[in-house]
Chain A
Amino acid sequence: MKSNTQQTPKFGPLEKAFRFIGVNRIHIHILLILVSGVTLAPYLWALSTSLKYRVNVFTETPQWIPNPVNLGNYKEVFRMAPFGLYLVNTIVVVVGILAIQILTMSTAAYAFSRLRFRGSEGLFFLFIVQMMLPVHATIVPNYLIVNKLGLLDSRLALMVPFWATGYGTFLLRQSFRQVPRDFEDAAMIDGCSGLRFLYSILLPMAKPTLVAFSLISIVTHWNDFFWPLVVTDSPAVRTLTMGLAMFVQQESGADWTLLMAATIFVTAPLMVLFLIYQRKFIESFMSAGIKG
């Protein structure tokens, strides 16, 4: 089911139909190039701006390829704000969230998919509710709770609310369900049951789902802004997106080459990963989306 998202169909199903109304391959390509060009432009323009000298930003006709190239903006950004620290914080937070998510969602998904118990449907519904109501919807009480726990302005505060995931549990449950009962019986006979069965057999078999969920979780929390904005205050715990917003205030919109260098730096790690593993990313977002 998941794997056939990769292969191209033998023939384009609508291809003949397109010809029927006089649309041929060239027309399709022209339309696709047009849309792709418009979508790519903002990022390429920002990249170009970040590599320019300040004088070349204000030219009569837009200078798409910076001439001469200036890497100094990135150095300057690093001098003005601790973006290296922000990067480390972001990685710690993203990995910290994902690691615990996998633990909590795998046992929950195991219970929901393989065990029978009273109230399972009602409890599962509670998990689904969280898919619709992320912490952002209840920002005030969550802020007060984190405050009460003494976690304000810490990296832990950035992680805790996301450790349990209704969405991940839901995805993993679907995938555990596809493992035939016989596996469990066979494992049982070998004395492998419960948690050991979960970690040595079920989870490895659900690897595609785990990868898909991991990528989505990483992207989501790497890009998160609202929650860090509310619970962090000091540079020591700031993530990249927060760092960018603070940098903008500090810079107050004066120098676009620096602002774009900061923006590009904040987006670069994920963008590079995405370009390298684009098929994996796209496949993951496709399979996880359709099941949700």
Chain B
Amino acid sequence: MSSSRLNLTKIRPYLYLVPSLALLSVFTYFPILYSTYLSFFRQNVFTLEPVFDWFANYAAVFEEPVFKIVVRNTVVYALGTIPITMFLALLMAILLNEQLGWIRDIYRVACFYPTMIPMAAAGMLAVWLFNPGIGLINHYLKMFGVPTIEWLYDMKWALPAIMLTAIWKNFGYFMLIYLAGLQNIPGELYESASIEGCGFWSRLRYITLPLLGPTTVFVVIQGIITSFQVFDLVYVMTQGGPADRTNVFVYYIYQNAFRFWDFGQASALTVMFVIVLLILVFILTRFMERRVHYEV
């Protein structure tokens, strides 16, 4: 009697975890293993049954000339959007952390509301704005004497157009994260700094930015995860075109799986994607945590 009760208290914690663990196993852990397994099989419209073929799918990935473009697009997208988004977010957060009265709420709403819009809908807004003939953006650019840009139909400008849309959509969220970080900095620090006669830039350099270190680590990692998973905008705005100039990693996986029905190839890409993402996040956490020397 007493021994069975003892057992029950021992397994009780695990029982609480069962629902979550079961679901996570089926939809997160097993898929990763399953992808790895599938990536070793040739499985496409030409094969009736999956055929084991070692690393053929991985080799095929690198033989595909489009893959190079896809990697370049994804990297350009990440390197282009993350710093600009962070800069805008930080700038707005610093300004909005001032005492501005009731109008502060309006600014905050104006910057944050794009977070509430579905990416797909944001893509639609952007398609309309970037319309070469009657779009608002070209209209205002023309006023400044800029010749008509074909935007989404132009090999050079399609990706920047998507990046601009993403920056507009995302910076407000990161601004809030920075605002939260700023509000955790004790006001006394600024007071004593001003007694010491520190000017604007030195306060920014020696108080604000260092104390925002942990927030920045979080923002960069979030930024990388979001920008590596960009898909909706590409799907709605360009379908990867023109000539794959906006084809990014997740879109390429989708294309291989559900347009070309090549699950083997798509799985190999998935495995590579997961590995690259985990390594990036791991390295960044390590690297940046060493540089974040102040603690809040």
Residues of A within 8 A of B (CB): 4-5, 8-18, 20-21, 23, 25, 28-29, 31-33, 35-37, 39-43, 45-46, 49, 57-58, 62, 103-105, 107-108, 110-111, 115-117, 120, 123, 126-127, 129-130, 132-145, 160-161, 163-166, 169, 194, 219, 222-226, 229-230, 240-241, 244-245, 248, 253, 256, 259-260, 262-263, 266-267, 270-271, 274-275, 278-279, 281-282, 285-287, 289-290, 292
Is A108 touching B116 in the complex (CB atoms < 8 A)?
A: no
Is B31 touching A141 in the complex (CB atoms < 8 A)?
A: yes
List, sorted by A's number, 20 A–B pairs whose CB atoms are closer than 8 Å: A4-B183, A5-B183, A17-B203, A21-B201, A35-B111, A42-B129, A62-B136, A103-B19, A104-B23, A136-B229, A138-B270, A140-B35, A163-B23, A166-B24, A224-B118, A225-B120, A226-B232, A263-B124, A282-B108, A285-B112
Residue numbers in A under 8 Å from B126 (CB-CB): 42
Q: Which of B20, B32, B92 has the most CB of A within 10 A?
A: B20
Residue numbers in A under 8 Å from B278 (CB-CB): 132
Is B17 touching A107 in the complex (CB atoms < 8 A)?
A: yes
Q: Count the B residues whose beta carbon is within 8 Å of the partner chain — how many?
A: 103
B262-283: CB near A (< 8 Å → 1, else 0) gives 0100110010011001100100
The verdict on B190 contacting chain A, using a C-beta distance below 8 Å, is yes
The verdict on B46 contacting chain A, using a C-beta distance below 8 Å, is no
**Residue in contact with A286 in the complex, picked from B10, B34, B180, CB distance below 8 Å:** B180
Q: Name the residue on B nearest A162 (C-beta).
A: B27
Is A230 touching B28 in the complex (CB atoms < 8 A)?
A: no
B219-256: CB near A (< 8 Å → 1, else 0) gives 00000010001011001100000000000001001100
Residue numbers in B under 8 Å from A49 (CB-CB): 128
Residue numbers in A under 8 Å from B136 (CB-CB): 41, 45, 62
Given A108-B20, A161-B27, A225-B120, check contact A271 B99 (CB 8 Å).
Answer: no
Q: In whole Å, how far is B121's beta carbon from the nearest beta carbon of chain A?
A: 5
Q: In whole Å, how far is B133's beta carbon from the nearest beta carbon of chain A?
A: 9
* Bound-state Cα–Cα, A130 to B27, Å: 10
The verdict on B54 contacting chain A, using a C-beta distance below 8 Å, is no
Q: In whole Å, how far is A48's beta carbon from the nearest beta carbon of chain B?
A: 10
Q: Name the residue on B nearest A142 (C-beta).
A: B31
Q: Which of B117, B236, B257 has the most CB of A within 10 A?
A: B117
The verdict on B144 contacting chain A, using a C-beta distance below 8 Å, is no
Is B98 touching A160 in the complex (CB atoms < 8 A)?
A: no
The 7 closest A-B pairs by CB, nearest first: A164-B23, A36-B110, A12-B98, A141-B31, A223-B118, A138-B31, A111-B16
Q: Name the residue on B nearest A120 (C-beta).
A: B13
* Bound-state Cα–Cα, A253 to B263, Å: 32
B3-32: CB near A (< 8 Å → 1, else 0) gives 000000010111011011111101111111
The verdict on B148 contacting chain A, using a C-beta distance below 8 Å, is no
Given A139-B257, A140-B266, A164-B20, check contact A14 B97 (CB 8 Å).
Answer: yes
Beyond A8-B104, A143-B258, A278-B109, 19 additional pairs, beta carbon < 8 A: A9-B97, A14-B203, A31-B95, A35-B110, A40-B113, A108-B17, A130-B24, A139-B253, A139-B257, A166-B24, A230-B258, A241-B120, A271-B116, A274-B109, A282-B109, A282-B112, A285-B176, A289-B180, A290-B215
Residue numbers in A under 8 Å from B32 (CB-CB): 133, 138, 141
* Bound-state Cα–Cα, A223 to B170, Å: 14
Is B118 touching A32 in the complex (CB atoms < 8 A)?
A: no
Is A140 touching B95 in the complex (CB atoms < 8 A)?
A: no
Q: Name the residue on B nearest A247 (C-beta).
A: B124
Is A285 touching B254 in the complex (CB atoms < 8 A)?
A: no
Is B270 touching A225 in the complex (CB atoms < 8 A)?
A: no
Is B128 touching A104 in the complex (CB atoms < 8 A)?
A: no
Residue numbers in B under 8 Å from A132 (CB-CB): 225, 277-278, 281
Is A43 touching B176 in the complex (CB atoms < 8 A)?
A: no
Residue numbers in B under 8 Å from A140 (CB-CB): 35, 38, 253, 257, 263, 266-267, 270
The verdict on B173 contacting chain A, using a C-beta distance below 8 Å, is yes
The verdict on B53 contacting chain A, using a C-beta distance below 8 Å, is no
Is A245 touching B199 in the complex (CB atoms < 8 A)?
A: no
* Bound-state Cα–Cα, A17 to B120, Å: 42
Is B177 touching A286 in the complex (CB atoms < 8 A)?
A: yes
* Bound-state Cα–Cα, A286 to B232, Å: 25
Is A160 touching B27 in the complex (CB atoms < 8 A)?
A: yes
Residue numbers in A under 8 Å from B95 (CB-CB): 28, 31-32
Q: Which of B27, B128, B263 has the most CB of A within 10 A?
A: B27
Residue numbers in B under 8 Å from A286 (CB-CB): 176-177, 179-180
Is A137 touching B29 in the complex (CB atoms < 8 A)?
A: no
**Residue in contact with A13 in the complex, picked from B103, B190, B229, B270, CB distance below 8 Å:** B190
Is A285 touching B173 in the complex (CB atoms < 8 A)?
A: yes
Q: In whole Å, how far is A64's beta carbon from the nearest beta carbon of chain B?
A: 10
